[in-house]
Amino acid sequence: MENMKENEYLSKLNHSCAHLMAQAVKHIYPNALFWVGPVIEEGFYYDMDLGGVTLTEEDLEKISKEMKKISKDGKRIIREEISKEEALEKFKNDPYKIDLIENFKEGEVISCYSQGDFTDLCRGPHVESVKECKHFKLLKFSGSYYKGDPKNKVLQRIYGVCLPSEEELSQYLEELEDRKLRDHRKIGKEQELFMNHELVGAGMPLWLPNGAIIRKELENYIYEKEKKLGYLHVYTPCVGTVNLYKTSGHWDHYKENMFPKMQVDDEEFVLRPMNCPHHMLVYKNKPHSYRDLPIRIGEFATDFRYEASGAVKGLERVRCMCQNDAHLFVTKEQIKEEFQKVVRLILDVYQDFGIKNYKFRLSLRDKNDKEKYFDDDEMWDNAENKLREVLNDLKVDYFEAIGEAAFYGPKLDVEVKPAVGPDVTLSTCQLDFLLPRRFDLTYIDSNGEKQVPVVLHRAIFGTFDRFTAFLIEEVKGIFPLWLSPTQINVIPVNNEYHLEYAKEIFDLLQDLGYRVKLDSREEKLSYKMRESVIQKIPVTVILGQKEMDSSSISYRVYGSEETITVSKEEFLNYLKERIEKKN
RNA sequence: GCUGGUGUAGUUCAGUUGGUAGAACGCUUCACUUGUAAUGAAGAUGUCGUGGGUCCGAGUCCUACCUCCAGCACCA
């Protein structure tokens, strides 16, 4: 999908269209004031103060119509440069513009762009004339906080997109519609993967049998991977005392995002939002020698986070989730190697799943924000450099994000784009010098001295919930054979004559551990075939007289129109191979 | 949490100015006995999100709460 921000012309076009929209809004709401109207990946938006007016669908159409009119009129877009003083004078009745202008340094040149009766403060650049902004669509509208601060008033924001031709626009809009079709919430319902119920609560998904199969396969898969890498898996409780989180420091930094505490007798408990404190105690259960390190404690751990009601979304953002979590306890010298192994594991797993659209984000602290981040510049610089080194060594592409670190340390996050909505973090690996200190963790080094280990927090799938959500959208509901809830559908051509043979094959496959269905309903073959395809079952087996006589198997693979007839052995080999190749 | 929208059968959705609910698919039954994307006929669908209120009468109007949706903010 085209990224408007990365293409110079599209970027100019969309930004100019934002101005065009502002002009149209000004015509309809003469008192409207404008904040900012940037270009984004999907097009543009403009934040506006309409003096208490909240927009409706009809208003959008009205604005759209006015925009067409102005565009047709074809006024040229003219740039004008003025001084800060002139700008302050020109926009003296507009507090939003004053706010923007005051951020300019003294003597800096400020530019304005005019088109007909509309002038806006703007850095530019713009297209030549409003005539070029002809093929646009206003997509959606909503509120947004002035300057992104919830304490401020809510401005009206309209999103739109503009393209050079009507064909490109309609193709773009079609792509947007297509994305909605693979929304995991839609597919999850269609394929009965998960459900929600208001009696259980928002953000508390119930995994249905089909979804549970996928999750179990994911658990088995990553468990085997981790086992081979020397991880030790544990089970720990989903609750902890408030004191546990006071010890870890989470209570001060994270309380707002936890479910409220429960009073039981004289103790206060909370549902755990993360597993690090529990795993710290697992480490602390006995003394450790440097020879024992690294120690890798893994767990498929259920956590609870009180996510804002407006944030919950399908399986992607939930209040009850299961992390594919692990904590690696390492010496300072082992940081690099262990971090590297984690990054390799991430790459390995993504390859197995054929995931290609992701970005590595190196999340760093904001040096000026001493409140959000644990204050120890030396520790931070050291940690951040180590992570950067590994990424450079492995030659992976990444971008750096200031202010995205955890309060205890920098991290590497893997960001992916869902079908609908903003990017989310899938995998994460976080470096932590703080927690081991808070829990007073030690190991004995080769000189017999006590040392504090370093902890790497890491989650490859992130949570099973979010990973499944992503996977559903990635494969568009067409799962590879090894993950598919139903793997094989066996259809006898005629129940009267072929059901017995079909049952024999069904039993054979089920005994071998395949998830297989026998469709023995009294329906036409074409009817059953249709359902098999609609249900996206990877392999459909058709058994009739021909197959019975030659003791063979005919099958059709999802996505193909072709029927292949082979011996039983060949068929079993085919299945085995596909499972091994994970396709 | 904020701004706005939304909620009707298992699913997708109709339901005019208030007069106790409809379609399609699915489901059930019967007939048909079938070789690769829909055989035909008949039948049953339901506390119209929940609680209050207005009214002779509420799916429809008012109100509170909840779910879900789009953004915003949040995301250790």
Residues A406 and A529 placed together within one structural domain of the fold: no
User: Does at least one atom of strand B sit less than 7 Å from the CB of A143?
Assistant: yes
Domain of residue A285, CATH code: 3.30.930.10
Q: Is position A1 within any domain?
A: no
pTM to 2 decimals? 0.94
Regarding predicted confidence, which is higher, A514 or A88?
A: A514
**Mean pLDDT confidence for A454-481:** 96
Asked if residue A385 belongs to a domain, the reply is yes
Confidence grade of residue A194 (pLDDT, cut at 50, 70, 90): very high
| Residue A434 beta carbon within 7 A of nucleic strand B | no
Q: How far apart are CA A407 and CA A251, in angstroms?
A: 12
> Which of A9-23, A81-95, A309-323, A418-432 has the lowest average pLDDT?
A81-95
Domain boundary among A443, A474, A505: A474
From the CA of A324 to the C1' of B18: give the distance in Å. Answer: 55
The predicted structure's pLDDT at residue A198 = 87
The CATH number of the domain holding residue A575 is 3.40.50.800
Calculate the CA A234 to chain-centre distance.
27
Residues of A forming the active site:
276, 305, 323, 325, 327, 411, 457
Q: Is A532 (CB) below 7 Å from strand B?
A: no
Give whole-number Cα distances, A515 to A52, A487, A488, A535, A582, in Å. Answer: 58, 5, 7, 14, 15
Residues A449 and A340 placed together within one structural domain of the fold: yes
DSSP string, A376-425: -HHHHHHHHHHHHHHHHHHT--EEEEET-SBTTB-EEEEEE--SSSS-EE
Protein CA A344 to sugar C1' B1 (Å):
39
For B67, nearest residue by CA–C1' is: A198
Helix (H), strand (E) at residue A229: none
Cα separation, A396 vs A415, in Å, equals 14
Tell me the C-alpha distance between A240 and A277, whole Å.
9
Strand B interface, A 289-328, C-beta < 7 A: 303, 305, 307-314, 317
Residues A54-64 have a mean pLDDT of 86
> From the alpha carbon of A146, which nucleotide's C1' atom is closest?
B72
* Interatomic distance A69 CA / B25 C1' (Å): 44
Q: Are residues A249 and A142 in the same domain?
A: no
Residues 259-278 of A with CB under 7 A from strand B: 273-274
Last residue of a domain, one of A425, A442, A474: A474
What per-residue confidence (pLDDT) applies to A221? 97
Rounded to the nearest integer, the mean pLDDT of chain A is: 92
| Residue A141 domain flag | yes
Q: DSSP letter at A291?
A: G
Mean of the pLDDT values across residues A489-504? Answer: 93
Q: Does position A54 have pLDDT exceeding 90, yes or no?
A: no
Question: Is the pLDDT reported for residue A101 higher than 90?
Answer: no
Residue A430: name the closest of A457, A393, A454 by CA. A457
Residue A492 lies in a domain: yes
What CATH number is associated with residue A22?
3.30.980.10
ipTM of the complex: 0.93
Same domain, A261 and A227: yes
- Identify whether residues A568 and A530 lie together within a single domain: yes
Residue A171 and residue A199 share a domain:
no
Residue A209 (CA) to nucleotide B44 (C1'), in angstroms, measures 28
A163/A122 same-domain check: yes
Strand pairing class (A78-82; A194-195): unpaired
pLDDT at A540: 97
Question: Is strand B less than 7 A from the beta carbon of A50?
Answer: no
Residue–nucleotide distance: A203 CA to B59 C1' (Å): 28
C-alpha angle with apex A490: A489 to A493, nearest 5 degrees?
135
Of A176, A211, A239, which residue is a domain's last? A176
Rounded distance in angstroms from the CA atom of residue A54 to the C1' atom of nucleotide B63: 22
The nt closest to A363 (CA vs C1′) is: B76
> Å from A80 (CA) to B75 (C1')?
42
A351 vs A345: CA distance, rounded Å:
10
pLDDT tens digits, A284-300: 999 999 999 999 999 99
Same domain? A389 vs A288? yes
Residue A378 CA distance to nucleotide B63 C1' (Å) = 59
Nearest nucleic acid nucleotide to A418, CA to C1' distance: B70
Residue A466: CB less than 7 A from any atom in strand B:
no
Q: Are residues A495 and A448 in the same domain?
A: no
The number of domains in chain A is: 3
User: What pLDDT was estimated at residue A562?
Assistant: 93
Nucleotides of B under 7 A from a protein CB: 1-5, 11-12, 31-39, 66-76
Determine what percent of chain A is predicted with pLDDT higher than 90.
71
Please check whether residues A440 and A507 belong to one and the same domain.
no
Q: Is the CB of A522 under 7 A from strand B?
A: yes
Domain enclosing residue A537, as ranges? 488-581
DSSP A208: -
* A74 and A133 belong to one structural domain: yes
Say what the pLDDT of residue A107 is: 74
User: Is the distance between the Cβ of A547 and the closest atom of strand B smaller than 7 Å?
Assistant: yes
Between A428 and A368, residue with greater pLDDT:
A428
Residue with tokens 């450079």: A392
Name the nucleotide nearest A258; use CA and C1': B76
Per-residue DSSP letter, A116: T
Say if residue A357 is in the same domain as residue A255.
yes
